[in-house]
Structure 1
Amino acid sequence: MNAKIVAPRVGISACLLGHPVRFNGGHKKSSLCSDTLASHVEFVPVCPEVAIGLGTLQPERDVTAALAAYGRQVAGQLHDISGFILMQKSPSCGMERVKVYRSDGHTLPDGGSGVFARALIEARPELPVEEDGRLNDAVLRENFLTRVYAYAEWQRLRHDGLSRKAIVDFHSRYKYQLMANHPLQYQVLGRLVARLAEHSLESFAPQYFGQLMQALKQPATRGTHCNVLLHLSGYLKHALGPEDRREMRRLIDQYRAGIVPLVVPLTLLRHHLRHHPDRYLARQAYLQPHPETLSLRNGI
């Protein structure tokens, strides 16, 4: 029901696409990334080790400063990417659980993050970043792709030229997605946008977008999804007959109980909206935050 979604550019650890850039000359090809996601995003492969001249099959040496510098460099140069997928547990690319050694040679109990990953995230805190292993979780995968496409849409908005009206329209479009991900921040951002006229666009835009992306980072729950579904179906209460309203409520309750996936009540809601169009609802990102062919809501 929304306009055609443009494929975003997403950075990725090159080994996940099958590039033989690992320390042992191998790779860690991810079928999810190379077979499924590659059809919907434009991947930009990056290998920090090769980029700083470490290469493969090389003896160990301290490259901490070089990897951190390259992370900051990538953050600046790849200004048009809308997300990044990192190789899990990699000393350079891992987000968490990476072996970090103390001065006495022992590892920290909970591990840490890779040098490149940490520098990238610090330089681009609003950028959606995930590890390949975590993307096997259906909820985290759907959340990550929702953030990637929201980021890409904001980038297009900035490219076309920011205006107060454009920001208000963007926020209106993401209203129910925010309600699903972070109900409290949904209210906070609503009040922030209501005072947009009091601020310059230059100061307001990064503040608003940073808070938006932080809010979207929190995965929606069955409870918050049900709350949004009830709000959306409320727009149809006068258009639908008693039987259709009961069926809609029954499927929402079944989703809440874990009997059916999110796609089931959503499909019925979208069916009713095709027969009873509502321009405001038709623009809601929540109804299709990412390409339908990814089937991301079939598993949550």
Structure 2
Amino acid sequence: MNKKLKIGVSACVVGQKVRYDKGHKKLYFCTDELSEFAEFKPVCPEVGIGLPIPRPTIRQVSHGDVIKVSRPDGSGDVTEQLTKFGQDFADQQCHDLAGFIVCAKSPSCGMERVKVYHHHGKGSESNGVGLFTQQIMKRNPLLPVEENGRLNDPIIRENFVTRVFTYQKWLDLKSEGITKHKLIAFHSAHKYLVMSHHVESYKSLGKLLARSDMDLDTQANEYIFGLMTALKHHASRKTHTNTLQHLQGYFKKQLDSDKRQELAQEITSFRQGVTPLLVPLALINHYLREHPNEYLATQTYLNPHPKELRLRYGY
């Protein structure tokens, strides 16, 4: 992929000093690593609705079943403004985005576990979603969304970036024009990636594309929903091992007994937690260069994202 990804981001996460205290929440993974492959579209919804920098803090406050965003004393209610800003941004600015990175714990941008205070002032619960991010996710359910803080976890980071690069490929396919042949080719290239995340989806997506009683648009929409849902499941040593063993089967006739045993041993060592995922993957890629296989060469699983991002060290 030559062109850069387009990723939405809370402006403070890329170092813009837009927070209530004139601070930022820079995530160096974004600015120093992912920026080589991504073009960011920064937004601060609080500034977007006209709040100043610096500004009084705002919080989510529950009034029965209704959650409002205002200053701690209840003044300066911006619930409607933030919701409308989120709806407009989601509808007008997200069509070409491959992902979105938001600021954790923010009453406007938090993805989960945002503090919601009781209106009577006694206590809070961390079960809210930022009003802006809520609209982004609601109106763009396929879009990969993640928080800056969670991206410090190597497994979550790799999962998010895998979803982003996969969704970008889908956006590219849509822009070209989806045909039945292209849809099947897309699925074929992502089969083992799906298997490494969720075996049940691997099976159900294959059955979906085998159906002849659906029109192409419906089939494509159901397919991409199923694919992006499957990839939300975090790959594990168990699911990776299963996938590696399937790939191993393609080399049974090409490799001599010593090489077959070496590959089997590296997969076992990975399953046991002795060696990282990169070891059996490197061996499979090496054997693939020695014994070219057109089908395996198309598999996204072997290279789901640029190696420069060093994302598979968490396994």
Give the TM-score range, shorter chain: over 0.9
Partner of 2:113: 97
Q: Deviations over 1:65-121 (max 9, x none)?
A: 211222222222221000000111111111112111233234443331111111111
Partner of 1:141: 157
Q: Deviations over 1:168-210 (max 9, x none)?
A: 1111111001101011111111111111x32112222222111
Partner of 2:61: none
Contact 1:5 1:290 in 2 (8 A): no
Q: Alignment partner for residue 290 of structure 1, among 305, 309, 312? A: 305
Partner of 1:55: 52
Partner of 2:67: none
Partner of 1:29: 26
1:236 matched to 2:251: yes
Measured after TM superposition, the shift of residue 5 of structure 1 is 5.5
Give secondary structure in 2 for the equivalent of 1:259: coil
Q: Which has the higher contact order (CA 8 A, sep 6+)?
A: 1
Identical pairs, percent? 47
User: 2:5 corresponds to which letter in structure 1?
Assistant: P
Partner of 2:66: none
Measured after TM superposition, the shift of residue 30 of structure 1 is 1.3
Partner of 2:5: 8
Return the alpha-carbon distance in structure 2 between the equivalents of residues 5 and 262 of structure 1.
26
Give the direction of change, closer, same or farther, for the CA distance of 1:106–1:124 in structure 2 (3 Å limit): farther
Contact 1:182 1:220 in 2 (8 A): yes
Q: Deviations over 1:34-90 (max 9, x none)?
A: 111111211111111111111322343211221122222222222100000011111
Give secondary structure in 1 for the equivalent of 2:115: coil
Partner of 1:224: 239
1:245 matched to 2:260: yes
Measured after TM superposition, the shift of residue 298 of structure 1 is 2.2
Return the alpha-carbon distance in structure 2 between the equivalents of residues 107 and 188 of structure 1.
45
Partner of 1:111: 127
Q: Alignment partner for residue 168 of structure 2, among 142, 149, 152? A: 152
Partner of 2:37: 40
Q: Deviations over 1:108-135 (max 9, x none)?
A: 4333111111111111111100001111
Partner of 1:70: 85
Q: Alignment partner for residue 17 of structure 1, among 14, 21, 44? A: 14
Return the alpha-carbon distance in structure 1 between the equivalents of residues 285 and 121 of structure 2.
58
User: Which sits farther off after the overlay, 199-208 or 17-26?
Assistant: 199-208
Q: What is the aligned-residue RMSD (CA, Å)?
A: 1.3
Contact 1:82 1:127 in 2 (8 A): yes
Return the alpha-carbon distance in structure 2 between the equivalents of residues 56 and 107 of structure 1.
28
What TM-score, normalized by structure 2, do the two folds share? 0.91
Partner of 1:273: 288
Q: Alignment partner for residue 169 of structure 1, among 162, 169, 185? A: 185
What TM-score, normalized by structure 1, do the two folds share? 0.95
- Structure with greater strand share of residues: 2
Q: Which runs of 5+ in 1 are unaligned?
A: none
1:212 matched to 2:227: yes
Return the alpha-carbon distance in structure 2 between the equivalents of residues 298 and 92 of structure 1.
33
Corresponding pairs, count: 296
Measured after TM superposition, the shift of residue 299 of structure 1 is 2.6
Q: Alignment partner for residue 199 of structure 1, among 206, 210, 214? A: 214
Give secondary structure in 1 for the equivalent of 2:8: strand
Return the alpha-carbon distance in structure 1 between the equivalents of residues 28 and 232 of structure 2.
24
Contact 2:208 2:219 in 1 (8 A): no
Contact 1:85 1:129 in 2 (8 A): yes
Partner of 1:131: 147
Contact 1:99 1:107 in 2 (8 A): no
Return the alpha-carbon distance in structure 1 between the equivalents of residues 87 and 265 of structure 2.
50
Return the alpha-carbon distance in structure 2 between the equivalents of residues 5 and 240 of structure 1.
34
- Pick the structure with greater CA Rg: 2
Contact 1:89 1:97 in 2 (8 A): yes
Partner of 1:188: 204
